Amino acid sequence: MKDYVVIGGSASEHLAKNIAKKLQAKYLKTRVKIFPDGERKITVVGQVRKCKIIVVQSTYTPVDSNLVEALSLISKAREMSNEVIAVIPYMGYAKQDKEFLKGEITTISVIAKLFKASGATQLIVVDFHSPKALDFFKVPIKNLSAVSLLAQYFKNLKLKEPLIVSPDMYWRHKAKEFAKYLNATSIALNKQRDRKTGKLIIKSPHLKFSKGRDLVLFDDMISTGGSILKAIEFLKKENFRKIYVACTHPVFVGNSERRIKKSGITKIIGTNSVEGKFSRIDLSDIIVKTILDWKS
């Protein structure tokens, strides 16, 4: 078997260590010093030769700083090896995938170029917001899905007649897939965002559900919590026994956690694409499997 070395960035240390353990790979730590102006001095502790290097670093908040760290780690890894797999479980800017309003920049296309330029030879992402935007990346890329892992967790909860709801049409196929694992039904709401004000409205017809069912709101990411809260308001929480939230990327900015919890939610479950209190589902198994199966 090829020798692997894992470099864990500061945003994905736990996940990186899990990956290293499963691959029986050497783990190189990253040391980050943040200067008063916000700049980072990034150091990879240790040197290696003749191996395949895996750099693990999500780019959630602070997005730009974590992104610079990811690119810097990749570039350092490339000095040590010709094969560098960048594992970016949560890719910031993935929502900026087209010019919605005139003059807006498709920033994810710019970032895609940076990954190649910094030296990544393969890329692994998870539930990337916009599958179409994967085409911007000019290195071989695998977009993994956390749906089965999340669904398995919920299967063990033995929910009552669960209804799986995607707050927008974007994620409807994934909600359907999630529901299938639970032998449950799913719907997707027609959420629209005013591109100028950012205001959300739901344009779906009002549906009636029998009382006492469990509700699972399922989305790719939760950031401000606005989409989830809008969906709860629309579906009327009194109609449900318990309300759960499942997402791949629990970003949770500002006071989103408090706002969501106040709305009567029983549990929030996410993956460790974003490390924090909601990252209950470990992605290391599916990432390791992808690395080992990837014929290069």
Q: Which residues are catalytic?
A: 191
Closest approach of ligand R5P to the CB of residue 227, in Å: 3
Output the smallest distance, CB 41 to ligand R5P, in A.
32
Side chain identity at 66, as an amino acid letter?
Answer: N
Say if residues 16 and 7 touch (Cβ distance below 8 Å).
yes
Of the residues 162, 225, 250, 270, which one makes contact with ligand R5P according to CB under 6 A: 225
Helix or strand or coil: residue 31? strand
Among 223, 248, 271, 273, the residue binding ligand R5P under the rule CB under 6 A is 223
Binding mask 43-62 vs ligand R5P (x if CB under 6 A, - otherwise)? --------------------
Nearer of residues 28 and 150 to ligand R5P, judged by Cβ? 150
Cβ proximity to ligand R5P: between 166 and 284 the closer is 166
Closest CA to 149 of 174, 168, 170: 174
C-alpha–C-alpha distance, residues 115 and 123, integer Å: 9
Task: Determine, following the binding rule CB under 6 A, whether residue 222 of this chain makes contact with ligand R5P.
Answer: yes
Question: What is the size of the binding site for ligand R5P (CB under 6 A)?
Answer: 13
Helices (H), 132-264: 147-155, 172-181, 226-235, 256-262
Q: Which is nearer to ligand R5P, 157 or 202 (CB)?
A: 202
Residues 6+ away with beta carbon under 8 Å from 167: 188, 189, 191, 217, 219, 227, 228, 230, 231
CB of 211 to ligand R5P, least distance (A): 27
**Stretch binding ligand R5P (CB under 6 A), from 29-37, 55-63, 162-170, 201-209:** 162-170
Query: Shortest CA distance to 61 belongs to which of 280, 229, 249, 281?
Result: 249
Q: Least distance to ligand R5P from the beta carbon of 67, Å?
A: 18
Alpha-carbon distance of 61 to 93, in angstroms, equals 11
Task: Fill in the DSSP letter of residue 206.
Answer: P
Residue 167 as a binder of ligand R5P (CB under 6 A): the answer is yes
Nearer to ligand R5P, 79 or 233 (CB): 233
Burial of residue 270 (number of CB atoms within 10 Å: 0-12, 13-18, 19+): buried
State in angstroms the smallest separation of the CB of 101 from ligand R5P. 16
Site string for ligand R5P, 168-207 (x = CB under 6 A): x-xx------------------------------------
226 part of the interface to ligand R5P, by CB under 6 A = yes
Please say whether the beta carbons of 83 and 296 come within 8 A.
yes
Residues 6+ apart with CB under 8 A from 227: 167, 168, 191, 200, 219
Binding flag, residue 220, ligand R5P (CB under 6 A): yes
Which chain residues interact with ligand R5P by CB under 6 A? 167-168, 170-171, 219-227
